[in-house]
């Protein structure tokens, strides 16, 4: 067995437009947008009558992307979760960035919650955690050279 790469990360959202705009404002580009429904999709994900809209976003130089998924059916009636950083499960998506101060300032201007100021980790990274729409947490890291 040989794993080639991570292809994508799926993020289920309620407000597809707001999540898409958050990642565009962050600096990702839209790679694809599509709708899916039907028996094969329901079989693949284990849900009946599944109907979704998807947006794939990524960097210009890499094959891995974030897939935002809005379920029109079946819908999830629970409220959006805003977990703490130590809540069990997948909790954040980490990005290496250039000029972390400028990235954080831009996200602040666009209304993102910065829940840790920029901190330096040893002599290797500057780090900051940001919460976007629907509880999505990004870890931003700038390599110190």
Domain extent listing, the chain: 8-73, 93-143
Q: What is the pLDDT confidence band of residue 43, given thresholds at 50, 70 and 90?
A: low
CATH topology of domain 93-143: 3.30.720
Predicted confidence at residue 109, as pLDDT, reads: 92
**Tokens 């990360």 appear where?**
9
Q: What is the pLDDT confidence band of residue 53, given thresholds at 50, 70 and 90?
A: very high
Q: What is the mean pLDDT of residues 55-60?
A: 95
CA dihedral (106, 84, 10, 41) positive or negative: negative
CA dihedral (76, 79, 81, 87) positive or negative: negative
Q: Kindly state the percentage of the chain with pLDDT values over 90.
A: 52
Helices (H), 48-91: none
Predicted confidence at residue 50, as pLDDT, reads: 80
pLDDT (tens digit, 9 = 90+) per residue, 100-126? 999 999 999 998 888 888 999 889 999
Edge-to-edge strands, sheet with 65-73: 8-12, 65-73, 51-58, 29-37
Q: How far apart are CA 142 and CA 83, in angstroms?
A: 24
* Superfamily name with CATH number, domain 8-73: 2,3-Dihydroxybiphenyl 1,2-Dioxygenase, domain 1 (3.10.180.10)
Q: Which token pair is 12?
A: 């289920």
- Three-class SS state of 102: helix
Q: Which token pair is 7?
A: 């292809």
Q: How far apart are CA 93 and CA 136, in angstroms?
A: 8
Task: Find all residues with CB under 8 Å of 19, minimum gap 6, and list them.
Answer: 11, 13, 55, 68, 132, 133, 134, 136
């Amino acid at each position: 067995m040989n794993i080639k790469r991570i292809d994508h990360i799926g993020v289920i959202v309620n407000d597809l437009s707001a999540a898409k705009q958050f990642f565009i404002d962050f600096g990702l580009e839209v790679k694809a947008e599509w709708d899916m429904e039907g028996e094969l999709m329901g079989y693949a994900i284990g849900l009946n009558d599944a109907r979704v809209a998807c947006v794939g976003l990524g960097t210009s130089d890499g094959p891995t992307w974030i897939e935002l998924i809005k379920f029109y059916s079946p819908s999830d009636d629970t409220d959006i979760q805003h977990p703490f950083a130590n809540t069990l499960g997948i909790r954040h998506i980490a990005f290496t960035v250039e000029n972390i101060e400028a990235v954080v300032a831009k996200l602040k201007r666009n209304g993102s919650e910065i829940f840790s100021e920029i901190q330096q980790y040893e002599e290797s990274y500057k780090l900051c955690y940001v919460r976007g729409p629907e509880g999505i947490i990004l870890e931003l890291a700038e390599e110190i050279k």
